[in-house]
Structure 1
Amino acid sequence: MSYFDLPEPPTPATIAQARRSLEAQQRSVRELSDKIQAEQDSLARMIRESQYTIAEMQKERAILQERVTVTLAYISPIKRLPNELLRTIFQFNFEEYPCCAWVLSAVCQLWRKLVLNMPVLWSKVRLMTNMASSAETIRLWLERSGSNVPLDIEIFLRYSASPSTGVSSKSRRRTSYMTSQLLGDALDAATGTTTPVVQIAPAGLGGGANHAVTLVQVPQHHNTHVAPIIHTANAIAATANGLMHTLSAHAPDDVFGMPPLIPSDRSSHNSKTRKAMHWGHITFYYLVEQMHRWERFVFRFDKQFSSYAALGAIEGDAPLLREFEVSCAEASFYPNWKWLPSAPPHAHDTSSLRSLTLQYVPFKWTSSIFHNLRSLNLRCLPNVHLAIDRILHIISQSPQLEELSLSFVSPGQPVLPLTSTTCPDLRAFTIAGHYHLTALVDALVLPALETLVFDIDTRDPVEDTIAALLARSGTPPLTRLSLAYGLHNSGFFFGAAGVTSWQFLSELDQLEALQVGSTPFEPLVVALSAPAEDAQQDRWLCPNLVSLAVRACHTRGDAVARLVQMVEARNPDLANGGAPLIVGGVAPARLRQLEVHECSQLGPDVVNWLKTRVDEVVCSDPLFERWVIPC
C-alpha cells in the first residue's frame, strides 16, 4: 500500500497539496501522543495506588503475624510450665553450659526474673578478657551469684587484644548495639534492672577492643604446659520458642552464653592506659571479698601485666577451696609476695584444697597450702633456687598425691640428706628441668605409677635412673612413658638425654604409649623391632605398644630403613597373608599411632607406605631442612 500518491515530478499544485497533507498528519501524531501520554499517566497512577494499597496490606499483615507469633508463644506448652519445672530445666542447662544464665535471662521477662533469682546459675565465672575491659563485669557476676553459693572461677587474661579481622570495627559495634537492644532494653524496662551493653561477636571474628570480654567454654583439666588460649564466642539470640532447639543444636564444646561488657571510656589513649594499670587491683578486690566462697579458682595470663601486683591480695581463709591455680605462660621477675602460696604455716584455712597449680609465680616451700593435696603442678621461676630436699619436703606433705608435675630450671643442691619418700597413690608423674632433679627421682618410690614424663636435661644416660625408679617401686603398671620429649629440648644437642641401652623396656610389658626426644634413633627402632637371634633377645620389648612418637632424634643413613623394618615387624600386611611374628608365645599389638618429628626426611613414598600399615601417621621434616636461604 502506498502512503504517497502524488505524481512525479512535483508541480506547484501537488506541492501545495502535499503541504496540506503534512499538516494534517502532524496534527494526528500530536493528538495520538497526547492520548498515549494520558493513558500512561493513568496507568502509573493506578500502579502507585495499587502499590500503596499493597504496602498498607503488608503492614497490616506484619502486625497480624506479630500478634499470631505472640499468641502462639502465649499458648505454647513451655509457657504453661510451672516455675519450679523451669528452674529444673535451667539447672540442667547450667550443668552442661556453665554460663547459660546470660542467654536465659535475655529470653523474656519471666525467665529473666527466674534466672536473676537463681544465684547458682551465676556461680561459675568463665571469662577471657584483657585489661582494656572493665572490671565491673566481675562485680556484676559476683553480685548475681548471691552471698552463700560456692564459686567456681576461671579467668583468662590476655595481655593484648587479638589481631583485627577483615570485618570493620564499625560493623562490630553495630552488631553489638542491635543485639543489646533486642535482648536487654525491653527486659530492663519490665524488671526495673539495669544491664550493661552485651558485646556479641559474629561467628568467626576475633576478639578486639570492642569486645574484650569473651565467654569461653574450657575443660576442667588442662595440660602441664600453659599456652595462651584464644577463642571467640558465637552470637546467640534465642527466643522462647527457639531456645530448646538452640540448646540441642550446639555441640558440648561450643560456647553458650555471653557475659556483659561494661563499655570502656574511649575518650583517649591515656584513659585506657590508666584503666589497664588498675584492672588487676579492681578485679581482685571484688574476687578476694568473696574468697570465703571460693570452691575453685583458676587465673591464667599470658605475660606479666601492669597491675600484676594485685595478685598479692589473694590472702585469707578459703575453707571451701578445692582447686587453686595461678599460671603465667612466660617467666618474669616477681617480688616475694605475701599471698596465699607464700603464707606462713597454719596462717589461713585451706583444709579442703586438693588440687594446686602454680606456674611462674612465687611461692614458699613452707606454706601450708602444700598439705594433703591430690594433684600438684609446680613450675618454678628461673631465679628461684629451691634446694632439692625442700622440693622433696613439699612432696612429703601430701602422701596421698595422685598427680605430680614439677619443673625447676635452677634447683639448688640438697641442704639436708635426702630420705626415701613413698607416694603410694601417685599415678602420673612429670618432672622437667635441671639435671640435679635426678637426685629427687632417686629418692622417690612410686608403686602405683602409670604415666611417667621424664624431661630432665641430664648429663648422663637416663636409663639407669628410670630402671632404678621402676625396680625400687616394684615394677609399677606403667602404661605411658615420655623421655626428653618436652618443648624445652632442642634438636641441636643430640644425646643430651640419650639412652645407651633400651633393655630396661623389657620390664615394661604393659607400656602402651612411648614418646622419645633427643636420643639416637636407630637403637630405639631396632629394640622395638622383631627380636634378632644375634642380639640374644628372646622376647618382644613393649608388646602392648600402640603409640610411638619421636622428636629431634639423631639419625644415620639407614634410619628410614630401620623404621620401615620395625613397622613391618609389628604391623604385618594381614590382607596379603602376613601374620604376626610370635616370639616366646607373645605376638605384639599393632601400632595405631606413629609420629616422627624433626628426625629424618622420610620421603613421600615411605610416608604413604606407613599410612597403609598404621592408622594415624604424623611426620615433619628436620628443622635444618626447612630453612629457606634467600637469594
Structure 2
Amino acid sequence: MGELDTKIDAAESALAQVVRESRCLITKMQNERALLEEQVDRTMAYLSPIRRLPSEMLRDIFLWSFEEHPCCAWVLAAIRLVTTQNASADTIRLWLERSGDTVPLDIEIFRQVINPVSDTESSSRRHRRSLSRTPSPPPWSLSFSHNQSLATHYVNVIPHTPLTQAGVTILPPAQTPILLHPHETWIPAPHLSDRPTVNPSRASLHWGHIAIYYLTEQMHRWERFIFRFDKQFSSMGALKSISGDAPLLREFEVSSAEAAFYPEWQWLPNAPSNTTVVLPKLQNVTLQYTPFKWSSPMFRTNLHTLNLRALPTSHLPLDRILYIVANNLELENLTLHFQGVLPAVLPLSPIKLPRLKKFHIGGHTLLSQLIDELSLPALTHLSLDFELRNPIEDTILNLLSISGAPHLTHLSIAYGTASNSASFYYGTGGVTITWTGLFPEMPHLVSLRAGGTPLEPLLAALAPPDEESDQATGWFCPKLQELGMRNCHAHSEGVVKLVQLVEARNPEIGYGTTPQVNGVTATRLTKLEMYDCAILGEDVVQWLENRIAEVICTEPDFDR
C-alpha cells in the first residue's frame, strides 16, 4: 500500500513538473509574440505615408495652418470623433479598444438640440431683436457657467460657433491634447449641418445603453467624465449603470439643462452612506437636474469644486444640505440650487470654509438661513438667486461681517436665467434693495449684476454724490468696471440716470476726467449689459458705445 502511494506521488510530481515547464514555455512564446507585434507596429508607423513627405513640405504645411488657425497644433494633435445619437455606438467601443488598457480616459459627451427661430415669430419681436446688439444669454448659461472653460493639462479650448443640429461629441483618451466640442465647425471636418437628418431609429433608442455600457467597463481608467444634455432622450436611463470604483477620477459631471422627473437611480451619486467607494482623487463634482443623495460617499471626498442643482421633486431639510457642505471644508468653488427646501430638523452649526472663493446659491428662500451659518474669509465671487421675502442686503452684510470683510470683487443678485421679474417682490409690502447701505461695504467690487430690481435707485447709488449731498460719502464701488442689469424696471427717469452715470464715470476722452471725491477717482466702466430693462433708442445706444468698450442691450417685450 505504501509503495503504491509513493508511485502516485511521484507520478503527480512528474505531471506538475511537465505542467510548469509547459506554462513557462507558453509564457515565453507569448512574450516573444508580443515583442514581434510591437516591432510590427513600430515598423508600420515608420512606413506611414506621412513620413514620405519631405521635411520642408511638412514645415510649410504647419506654417500655413498656423497662419489660418492659431490653435491648429491642438487640433492636429487630437483624435477627433463626431457622431450623433443615431450613429452606431460601436464607434465608442472601437476608440476604447484603440486606447489600450492603461491610458487614463478624458471623456466628454455633449448632446444638444438647438431649434431654429420659429416661422411664426411676430414681426414686432423680430424688429426688437434686430435692434439688440447681442441676444440674451442662452438657457445653458447658468447651468454650465462654471465649466465654460474646459482647459486642463490635457484639453485646450477651441473657438466655436452655434450648432444647428442634434449632435454628440466624444473625447477619446487624454493621452494627447484633445477638445471635442459639438460647436466646433471651423476645423476641416464634415459639418453636422451637411449631414442628412436621420429619423429616430433603434440606434437612437439604444445609443445611450450601449455607449454607457462600454464606458462603464473602463471606469477604472476614467480621469474625467462629462456628460451634458439639454433634453430628455429615450436611453438616458443608461446613466444609472454608472457605479463602482474610479481610482483615477478627478472630475465627474452629469448635467441636464431641462428639469425632469426621474426614479431614484442606483448609481454612484445615490450610493448608500455605508458603501465603500474608491474615489481617492475626486475633486470636482457637478450634478444638475439629476438624482443624488445628500449622504452619498461621493460628497465625502474633500472636494474642491461642488455644483449641485437639485431636481424640482427633491425636498431636502436645510441641515442635510449644510451636511454636504460641512464634509468638504477644502472647497474653493461652491454652487447650490435647490427649489425645494424643508426647515432644518437638527440645529444648524456654523461652518468655516477658509479656501472658498466663488459661492453661488439660489432657489428656495430658506437657503438664506444657510448663508447665515457660513464664514468665507477668502470670498471674491458671490451670486444669489433666491425667491426673496426678506431684505437681501441684511444677509449679504451679515456674511461679510462674519467672514471678516473679505475683498468681494464680483456680486450677482437675481441675475441668473432661473430668475425673472418675479424673483424679487417690490411695491406695496414688497422688498427693496437698499444699495446705499450695501455698497459702502464693497470698496473692491469690480463686477455687479442685478435682476428684478428698480433701475433708478441702483444707478443713483453708483453715480457721484450730488452737490447738495454729503460729500463725505464719496464714490460707491470706485473700482467697478462691469455693470449688468436684467429685468430692472425703469420709469421715466431711468434712461436719464443711466446717461448721467456713464457721463460721470466715463467722460469723453480728451474732454474731461472722472471727478475725484475725497481724493478717489472712479474706474471707467468697460462693460455694460442691459437685458429687458428699458427702451433706450438707437441714439442712446450709440452714445453708450462711444463711451464704453462693450455694450450689450436688448429691449423689453412690449407685451410683458
Provide the C-alpha distance between the structure 1 equivalents of 2:106 and 2:171, rounded to a whole number of angstroms: 14
Match of 2:551 in 1: 617
Match of 2:244 in 1: 316
Contact 2:113–2:164 (CA under 8 A) maintained in structure 1: no
Q: 1:278 aligns with which of 203, 206, 214?
A: 206
Specify the code of the residue in structure 2 equivalent to 1:414. Answer: A
Match of 1:42 in 2: none
Provide the C-alpha distance between the structure 2 equivalents of 1:351 and 1:362, rounded to a whole number of angstroms: 22
Structure 1 residue 77: Cα displacement: 2.7
Provide the C-alpha distance between the structure 2 equivalents of 1:493 and 1:162, rounded to a whole number of angstroms: 29
Matches within 5 A, 1:21-170: 74=52, 76-77=54-55, 96-97=74-75, 100-101=78-79, 129-158=83-112
Residues 160 and 508 of structure 1, relative CA distance in 2, 3 Å threshold = closer
Match of 2:506 in 1: 571
Contact 1:571–1:590 (CA under 8 A) maintained in structure 2: yes
The root-mean-square deviation of aligned C-alpha atoms, in Å, is 3.3
Contact 1:517–1:550 (CA under 8 A) maintained in structure 2: yes
Q: 2:289 aligns with which of 338, 360, 385?
A: 360
Does 1 or 2 have the higher relative contact order (CA < 8 Å, sep 6+)?
A: 2
**Bigger-Rg structure (1/2):** 1
Contact 1:297–1:323 (CA under 8 A) maintained in structure 2: yes
Match of 2:259 in 1: 331
Contact 1:207–1:232 (CA under 8 A) maintained in structure 2: no
Match of 2:477 in 1: 542
Residues 213 and 306 of structure 1, relative CA distance in 2, 3 Å threshold = closer
Could you report, residue by residue, the CA deviation over 1:566-610 in whole angstroms, capped at 9, with x for unpaired residues? 11221223412x232111111111111112221111222222222
Contact 1:435–1:459 (CA under 8 A) maintained in structure 2: yes
Q: 2:354 aligns with which of 418, 421, 424?
A: 424
Residues 258 and 401 of structure 1, relative CA distance in 2, 3 Å threshold = farther
Contact 1:94–1:100 (CA under 8 A) maintained in structure 2: no
Contact 2:245–2:278 (CA under 8 A) maintained in structure 1: yes
Provide the C-alpha distance between the structure 1 equivalents of 2:392 and 2:516, rounded to a whole number of angstroms: 30
Give the paired residue count: 442
Specify the code of the residue in structure 1 equivalent to 2:234. Answer: S
Match of 1:379 in 2: 309
Match of 2:34 in 1: none
Residues 527 and 611 of structure 1, relative CA distance in 2, 3 Å threshold = same
Residues 206 and 617 of structure 1, relative CA distance in 2, 3 Å threshold = closer
Percent of matched pairs sharing the same residue: 46
Q: What SS does the aligned partner of 1:155 have?
A: strand
Specify the code of the residue in structure 2 equivalent to 1:101. Answer: I
Structure 1 residue 79: Cα displacement: 10
Q: 2:491 aligns with which of 536, 540, 556?
A: 556
Match of 2:451 in 1: 517
Provide the C-alpha distance between the structure 2 equivalents of 1:492 and 1:482, rounded to a whole number of angstroms: 16
Contact 1:550–1:597 (CA under 8 A) maintained in structure 2: yes
Provide the C-alpha distance between the structure 2 equivalents of 1:508 and 1:545, rounded to a whole number of angstroms: 10
Provide the C-alpha distance between the structure 1 equivalents of 2:234 and 2:116, rounded to a whole number of angstroms: 18
Contact 1:324–1:355 (CA under 8 A) maintained in structure 2: yes
Provide the C-alpha distance between the structure 2 equivalents of 1:73 and 1:213, rounded to a whole number of angstroms: 33
Residues 544 and 149 of structure 1, relative CA distance in 2, 3 Å threshold = same
Q: 1:287 aligns with which of 215, 220, 241?
A: 215
Stretch of structure 1 that moved more, 286-295 or 408-417: 408-417
Match of 2:276 in 1: 347
**Structure 1 runs of 4+ off > 6 angstroms?**
70-73, 78-81, 159-163, 203-209, 256-259
Q: 1:599 aligns with which of 522, 529, 533?
A: 533
Contact 1:449–1:477 (CA under 8 A) maintained in structure 2: yes
Residues 549 and 153 of structure 1, relative CA distance in 2, 3 Å threshold = same
Residues 78 and 283 of structure 1, relative CA distance in 2, 3 Å threshold = farther
Q: Which runs of 5+ in 1 are unaligned?
A: 1-69, 82-92, 103-125, 164-202, 218-228, 237-255
Specify the code of the residue in structure 2 equivalent to 1:430. Answer: H
Specify the code of the residue in structure 1 equivalent to 2:476. Answer: L
Specify the code of the residue in structure 2 equivalent to 1:559. Answer: G
Contact 1:494–1:553 (CA under 8 A) maintained in structure 2: no
Residues 213 and 474 of structure 1, relative CA distance in 2, 3 Å threshold = closer
Provide the C-alpha distance between the structure 1 equivalents of 2:281 and 2:76, rounded to a whole number of angstroms: 23
Q: Which runs of 5+ in 2 are unaligned?
A: 1-47, 60-70, 118-159, 173-180
